[in-house]
């Protein structure tokens, strides 16, 4: 099975995927295939994380997922807004010492396409600037 990993260190594009700015393409092997229309979030930093789904144009009310505790993973269905609209997936972290949260990064995907595995990494240091997202994708063939 072919997979690709991405990290938020530089910008790159991938056919069929519109990534948010600041994402680097690198190769790697998928640890586990995530089914089409699903995304798995792994909170691998020193903080809990969650996802917010919206259209790629961000013109709907966002739909937040449950919070994923640090050092755990959880899989969610990608919200499908229909009509061939791409779904925006934003990753947020939760501060350890307050009830606040911070934006990490995001990407736009085909909601019926290959599965996605997102890793929220780093720390909450410097108001969340020490956090980043890595992406592992298993695209359709």
pLDDT tens across 88-129, in order? Answer: 999 999 999 899 999 999 999 999 988 999 999 999 988 888
Beta carbons of 102 and 47 less than 8 angstroms apart: no
pLDDT beyond 80 at 15: no
Q: What average pLDDT does the segment 37-57 reach? A: 96
Structure confidence at residue 26 as a pLDDT band (50, 70, 90): very low
Question: Is pLDDT at 25 greater than 50 in this prediction?
Answer: no
pLDDT at 127: 83
Q: Please give the pLDDT value at position 128.
A: 85
Q: Structurally, what CATH architecture does the domain formed by 4-137 represent? A: Sandwich (2.60)
Neighbouring C-beta atoms of residue 32, cutoff 10 Å: 11
Residue with tokens 């780093």: 122
């Amino acid at each position: 099975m072919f997979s690709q990993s991405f990290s938020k260190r530089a910008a790159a594009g991938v056919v069929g995927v519109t990534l948010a700015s600041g994402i680097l393409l690198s190769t790697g092997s998928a640890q586990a295939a995530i089914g089409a229309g699903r995304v798995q979030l792994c909170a691998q930093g020193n903080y809990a994380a969650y996802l917010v789904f919206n259209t790629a144009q961000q013109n709907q009310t966002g739909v937040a997922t449950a919070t994923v505790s640090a050092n755990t993973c959880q899989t969610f269905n990608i919200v499908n807004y229909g009509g061939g609209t791409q779904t925006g997936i934003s990753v947020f972290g939760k501060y350890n010492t307050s009830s606040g949260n911070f934006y990490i990064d995001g990407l736009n995907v085909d909601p019926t396409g290959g599965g996605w595995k997102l890793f929220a990494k780093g720390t909450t240091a410097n108001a969340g600037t020490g956090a980043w997202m890595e992406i592992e994708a298993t695209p359709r063939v």
